[in-house]
């Protein structure tokens, strides 16, 4: 029993083979029953066809004024005499052949008498007074003048069996049917074995593939050219393996990039502290300011990493409320305009008034600050930053354009990935961690919005943000 439960091949074989055996056995039983029934009816019809003389005399003796042969129905002796008279074979001429006469037919008049019944035209049983048992067949008794049916004469199958010839025929046919059934069962068992093996082959491949994945070998793929459900399952398993491999590679890259980003502020702090310990530098205000800047950069980096970690888990927290988005955008530009001008960047704005939507204002301020910082770091001076905002249907659109340089077109799809920089020269010397646009994407996505990058008409980068007016908390309202 334990082997049966552990072996899927044995379960498949048992299920298919048992089903096939049950079907063959059922069909064999039905065919055997039908054959015996049909053969008995065939014999009865043959016997009824030999009763022409009896049917003719019954038709001749019928009295229309007293239908139903009352004189025969009232007297069993009269009926027996009638049968003896009409079932006797007709006299034959002397035989000229020297061959012995054929053996007498076992259907003697007495046996026919015991199995014969007579019915009226409406189906009422006249002789015998009780219903015939076993299988029976009847023959119509026509009127002598052809006016209709007078009644029926019938025979029941013999209770004591058939003749030796009949039984020999039935035995032979039953034997042939049994042999054919056994052959069919054998073929079915062989087919069940082949089918179970055929079905088990891709399942075995899946089992080996799953075991390989549990060992961390995510590069392994299961070969298959099947188009059925098992083929689709194998394809999905290969996709899962690819996803696991991508996730592991991304995790390795995440750890590597995070370690690399943390190294710079930690190295600054270490250098400053060691310099003070060695007496090279004093704990004066400039030194403490440099250390404070390093600590703040480290704090911002840790906060950004936490935000991205929550977004990966789908747990970016947003506290939405009805917000004047026009006012929010203007305030962020006003806050950064002096620094932008000092950097050499001119500010242009085309913000439609009265853009109200449900959003987390703190998070959206973080998005706009990151986009402005991104422009300040990577736009050549003198240059321009333009902020455009308007309503489009049930969405509010915000677009940030800047002047050259623009990232390469093949880099647009990667700008929102963690730690990505379009070119090596735009690196940490500009103060960027490579997380700003990733954080923007996470926050916008948490608002059920979209953010895309493209080449700006001004010659630099264009960031387009589309936010639903109802926000994530009212998306089903």
Give the tens place of pLDDT for each residue, 61-115. 888 888 888 888 888 888 888 888 787 655 555 555 555 555 444 444 336 667 7
Q: How far apart are CA 119 and CA 129, in angstroms?
A: 10
| Residue-level pLDDT at 106 | 46
Give the tens place of pLDDT for each residue, 417-448. 766 665 544 444 444 556 778 888 888 988 89
CATH of 239-312 among 3.40.50.620, 3.30.420.40, 1.10.287.130, 3.40.50.300: 1.10.287.130
Q: How far apart are CA 293 and CA 355, in angstroms?
A: 37
| Residue-level pLDDT at 466 | 95
Between 131 and 271, residue with greater pLDDT:
271
| Residue-level pLDDT at 270 | 85
**444: how many CB neighbours lie within 10 A of its CB?**
24
Average pLDDT over residues 168-173: 73
Between 58 and 11, residue with greater pLDDT:
58
Q: What is the mean pLDDT of the chain?
A: 79
Between 161 and 56, residue with greater pLDDT:
56
**19: how many CB neighbours lie within 10 A of its CB?**
12
Residues of the chain with CATH 1.10.287.130: 239-312
Residues of the chain with CATH 3.30.565.10: 321-474
Q: How far apart are CA 382 and CA 372, in angstroms?
A: 15
| Residue-level pLDDT at 109 | 38
**92 Cβ contact partners less than 8 Å away, ≥ 6 residues apart:** none
Tokens of 199: 């079905």
Nearest to 119 by CA among 107, 137, 135, 134: 137
Between 457 and 24, residue with greater pLDDT:
457
Topology (CATH level 3) of domain 321-474: Heat Shock Protein 90 (3.30.565)
Name the pLDDT band for 475 (thresholds 50, 70, 90): very low
The answer to whether the beta carbons of residues 460 and 470 sit under 8 Å apart is: no
């Amino acid at each position: 029993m334990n082997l049966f439960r552990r072996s899927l091949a044995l379960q498949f074989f048992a299920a298919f083979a048992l089903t096939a055996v049950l079907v063959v056995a059922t069909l064999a039983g039905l065919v055997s029953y039908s054959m015996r029934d049909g053969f008995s009816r065939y014999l009865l019809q043959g016997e009824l066809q030999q009763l022409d003389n009896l049917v003719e005399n019954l038709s001749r003796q019928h009295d229309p004024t007293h239908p139903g042969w009352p004189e025969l129905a009232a007297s069993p002796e009269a009926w027996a005499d009638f049968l003896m008279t009409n079932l006797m074979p007709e006299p034959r001429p002397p035989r000229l052949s020297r061959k012995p006469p054929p053996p007498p037919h076992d259907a003697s008049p007495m046996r026919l008498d015991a199995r014969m019944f007579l019915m009226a035209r409406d189906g009422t049983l006249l002789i015998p007074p009780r219903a015939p048992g076993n299988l029976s067949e009847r023959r119509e008794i026509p009127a002598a003048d052809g006016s209709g049916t007078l009644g029926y004469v019938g025979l029941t199958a013999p209770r004591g069996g058939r003749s030796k010839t009949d039984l020999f025929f039935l035995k032979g046919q039953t034997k042939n049917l049994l042999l054919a059934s056994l052959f069919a069962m054998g073929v079915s068992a062989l087919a069940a074995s082949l089918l179970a093996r055929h079905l088990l082959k891709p399942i075995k491949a899946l089992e080996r593939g799953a075991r390989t994945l549990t060992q961390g070998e995510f590069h392994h793929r299961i070969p298959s050219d099947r188009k059925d459900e098992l083929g689709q399952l194998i394809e999905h398993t290969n996709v899962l393996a690819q996803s696991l491999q991508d996730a592991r590679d991304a995790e390795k890259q995440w750890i590597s990039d995070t370690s690399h980003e943390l190294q710079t502020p930690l190295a600054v702090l270490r250098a400053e502290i060691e310099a003070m310990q060695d007496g090279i530098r004093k704990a004066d205000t400039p030194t403490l300011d440099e250390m404070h800047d390093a600590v703040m950069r480290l704090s911002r980096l840790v906060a950004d990493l936490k935000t991205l970690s929550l977004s990966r888990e789908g747990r970016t927290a947003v506290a939405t409320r009805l917000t004047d988005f026009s006012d929010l955008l203007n305030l962020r530009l006003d806050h950064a305009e002096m620094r932008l001008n000092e950097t050499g960047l001119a500010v242009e704005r085309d913000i439609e008034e009265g853009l109200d939507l449900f959003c987390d204002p703190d998070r959206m301020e973080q998005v706009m600050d990151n986009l402005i910082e991104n422009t300040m770091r990577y736009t050549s001076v003198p240059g321009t930053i333009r902020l455009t905002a308007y309503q489009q249907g049930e969405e509010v659109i915000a677009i940030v354009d800047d002047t050259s340089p623009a990232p390469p077109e093949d880099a647009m799809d990667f700008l929102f990935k963690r730690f990505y920089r379009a070119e090596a020269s735009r690196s940490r010397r500009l103060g960027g961690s490579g997380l700003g646009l990733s954080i923007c994407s996470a926050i916008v996505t948490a608002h059920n919005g979209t953010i895309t990058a493209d080449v700006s008409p001004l010659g630099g980068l264009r960031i387009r943000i589309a936010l639903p007016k109802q926000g994530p908390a009212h998306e089903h309202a």
